[in-house]
Structure 1
Amino acid sequence: MADIFDVVADTTRRDILGVLLSHHAAETTPGEVSVSAIVAELGLSQPTVSKHLKVLREAGLVGVREEGQHRYYHLDYAPLEEIEDWLIPFLSVDFEQVVADEVALAGDGLKNEQKAFAAAIGKAVADASHQVSAAVKEVAPKAWRK
């Protein structure tokens, strides 16, 4: 099986995942989209879409339902957990620096005490976010959280 990061690195595959996600809330057969609908929506050739769907299917990112000669694809969120697990630490580590940068951009109108206070709040929020993420990861099963 291909590395999940290599699979989602391709723009066309991300576009296909986006189409499937946009159809997820459909009223009839939620999330299922025919290959021809994907072809029409993205303006790509059928062989190109089929090639990319095969890669997505082999990576476990999509599932398929066959109905005669037609194929209906839907998202499978479970493999995205690996990306989520890798990404979460990056979202909270530099939060304090982002807040400090925003405070600096606000201009010299802020006093040093206010800048320090804003940085402390940013750090507290980042720490709390990281702790909550870690707690959820330990308690929750490895199923996609909707």
Structure 2
Amino acid sequence: MADIFDVIADGTRRDILHLLLERSSATTGGTSVSHIVQELGVSQPTVSKHLKVLREAQLVSVREEGQHRYYSLSAEPLDEVDDWLVPFLVDDEADAAAAASGSTLPESAAQAADAVGRAAASVSHVVQTALRKLPGR
């Protein structure tokens, strides 16, 4: 699997992830490749290439329906980015020591953790809703 930082370093892949995040609350069935192409104004082969990289990094999941593919965000791999980023969000050495020891987080880190937690909860809800709608469940 590719390094998560290499995967999200590409601007087009970040745009795709952002689009899927925005659409995760609007749709439970995923976002079609054609919709991604239309929204980003990028060619279909380019979008497909980037979706393959995101799929291999487990940042997106795909649902096939006939000839169509619908993609949804899977934010769990971004936990590694979050773990790496939190130390940079602390304001001073005392906050850094508190964060490293597992005690209460400094305000800036707590806000970041809250945002990440909300995003993860939203994605979890969307996935659970989609799974409930699958035939045979």
TM-score, normalised to structure 2, is 0.70
* Alpha-carbon distance in structure 1 between the residues aligned to 2:98 and 2:15: 30
Unpaired runs of 5+ residues, structure 2, are: 106-116, 122-137
* 1:21 to 2:21 alignment: yes
What are the within-5 Å matches in structure 2 for residues 43-58 of structure 1? 43-58=41-56
* 1:132 to 2:94 alignment: no
* Alpha-carbon distance in structure 2 between the residues aligned to 1:33 and 1:128: 42
* Alpha-carbon distance in structure 2 between the residues aligned to 1:129 and 1:35: 44
Among all aligned residue pairs of Structure 1 and Structure 2, give the percentage whose two residues are the same amino acid.
63
Give the length in aligned residue pairs: 107
Unpaired runs of 5+ residues, structure 1, are: 97-122, 134-142
User: RCO higher in 1 or 2 (8 Å CA, sep ≥ 6)?
Assistant: 2
Matching residue's letter, 2:38: A
* Alpha-carbon distance in structure 1 between the residues aligned to 2:98 and 2:21: 26
Shift of 1:84: 0.5
Matching residue's letter, 2:28: T
Shift of 1:127: 5.6
* 1:4 to 2:4 alignment: yes
Instruction: Provide the alpha-carbon RMSD of the alignment.
Output: 2.4
What are the within-5 Å matches in structure 2 for residues 78-97 of structure 1? 78-92=76-90, 95-96=91-92
Change (3 A) 1:129 1:12: farther
Kindly indicate whether the alpha-carbon contact (under 8 Å) linking 2:87 and 2:96 is maintained by their aligned counterparts in 1.
no
Report Cα offsets for 1:77-130 as digits up to 9, x if no partner. 1100000011111111xx14xxxxxxxxxxxxxxxxxxxxxxxxxx76x36972
SS at 2:24 equivalent = coil
**Which structure: larger Rg?**
1
Shift of 1:145: 4.2
TM-score, normalised to structure 1, is 0.66
